[in-house]
Amino acid sequence: MLDLLALWYDEREFFARYNRNDPTFRDELCLVAEDAGRIVGTVQIFARRINLAGQAVPMGGIGSVFVREDYRHRGLASELMRLAVRTMEREGFEVSLLFAERLTFYNRFGWREVTRNFSILSSAASLPASPALELDVFNPARDLETVARIHRDYSGRFNVTAIRSEADWRGNLVFAANVPKAGCGEYFVLAREDDAIRAYARALRFHGVAMVMEYGYEPGSESAVLAMLRNCAEAASGMETSMCLRGDHRKRALLQGESRAGAASVIVTHTEHDEALEEALTAAGCAPMHYPDNNYMWRVMLPERLAERFAMAPEAASEYAFSMFENSRSLFWTADRF
């Protein structure tokens, strides 16, 4: 299967990282089309649990949809998608998310595009850098417990976010920054005040832009996020940081990519879910611009299960789920992509 996917981006490792490091990966969720014993097409289901109205709902993420070029336009991908639907129903996935370019192809199998926005911060390099804060580098052995707790408390407040066990976290730390061609690697920063972690941010260069693919903070610590965004924006434009640093920040260079010093310091992230943070950004002269993500599609797989959870009729429960997928206060971090 990896040999087949290697034909896509000419990058076997990109797909291998998910399949080897995602603790939920299993053969039953890896669907293939075979001809004379050779695998010629695949669709994969990535198992996640997402927060919907306080419940951990099993979600199947559809990814790695690929058919060998000489086997295309014969309905193989369509048949694999129908098999994916049956598999998700059988395996108890109640909802499904996919990121698509060919929206109409997936419409045929019941997925619907949902509007959501990225946030573009064009002047984050001028955000305030509180002198009380120190920026440190994440060390899993030392910091994972605290960061996982901040993630649970912060991201857990929003609908649609993926829920992570410790095993999920360990896998996520390997594949979250997985980008075709660019390889794998993230700049994982902590903002400390009097040693205590107030906030964290996970940044990478994603298809040519500096992106903060996830962050979290303690209640009231918006300024710690602003400081980290400033540091990331400075890194993106090849500038030295104006913050007080601790630890080894060499991975900061990941954000700069190919650009020369002084290049644009634009940061892409998600902020729309968080009114308080958007207010703090706006007050600091860096109002986020919202930019639509046109690749985000959802489907309800098991309306009856949602009906039981939410104590409503199946159709109403499906509508309720979609109202959460569509709500601007909902959030799905890029770090949880598949």
Ligand X SMILES: CC(C)(COP(=O)(O)OP(=O)(O)OC[C@H]1O[C@@H](n2cnc3c(N)ncnc32)[C@H](O)[C@@H]1OP(=O)(O)O)[C@@H](O)C(=O)NCCC(=O)NCCS
State the residues that interact with ligand X by CB under 6 A. Answer: 8, 65-67, 72-78, 100-102, 105
Residue whose entry in the numeric block shows the structure tokens 């109205």: 53
Q: Which DSSP state fits 28?
A: G
CB of 79 to ligand X, least distance (A): 7
Question: Given the complex with ligand X, which of 65 and 229 has the nearer CB atom?
Answer: 65
Q: How far is the CB of 178 from ligand X (least distance, A)?
A: 16
Q: Which residue has the tokens 């299993």?
A: 26
Give the residue with the Cβ less far from ligand X, 20 or 72: 72
Please report how close the Cβ of residue 180 comes to ligand X at its closest, in angstroms: 12
Strands (E), 53-140: 55-67, 95-99, 112-113, 116-121, 133-137
Residue 213: CB minimum distance to ligand X, A:
20
Cβ proximity to ligand X: between 114 and 263 the closer is 114
Kindly tell me which of 14 and 187 has the beta carbon lying closer to ligand X.
14
Question: By the 8 A CB rule, do 47 and 38 touch?
Answer: no
Alpha carbons 307 and 318: distance in angstroms, whole number? 8
Q: Which is nearer to ligand X, 34 or 258 (CB)?
A: 34
Report the nearest approach of ligand X to the CB of residue 167 (Å): 28
- Distance, in Å, from the CA atom of 191 to the CA atom of 227, rounded to the nearest integer, reads 8
Using an 8 Å Cβ cutoff, are 161 and 214 in contact? no
Closest CB to ligand X among residues 73, 250 = 73
Q: In Å, how far from its chain's centre is CA 103?
A: 19
Smallest separation, CB 33 to ligand X (Å): 8
Cβ(53)–Cβ(327) below 8 Å: no
Task: Identify any residues that bridge with 201 across adjacent strands, giving them in sequence order.
Answer: 189, 215
CB distance 297 to 110 below 8 Å = no
Closest CA to 181 of 13, 63, 333: 13
Contact 199, 216 (CB under 8 A): yes
Q: Residue 105 or residue 310: which is nearer to ligand X going by CB?
A: 105
Nearer to ligand X, 66 or 215 (CB): 66
Exposed / middle / buried, residue 282 (Cβ in 10 Å: 0-12, 13-18, 19+): exposed
Least CB distance to ligand X at residue 12 (A): 15
Query: Shortest distance, CB of residue 115 to ligand X, whole angstroms?
Result: 18
> CB–CB of 220/249 below 8 Å?
no
DSSP string, 274-290: -HHHHHHHHHTT-PPEE
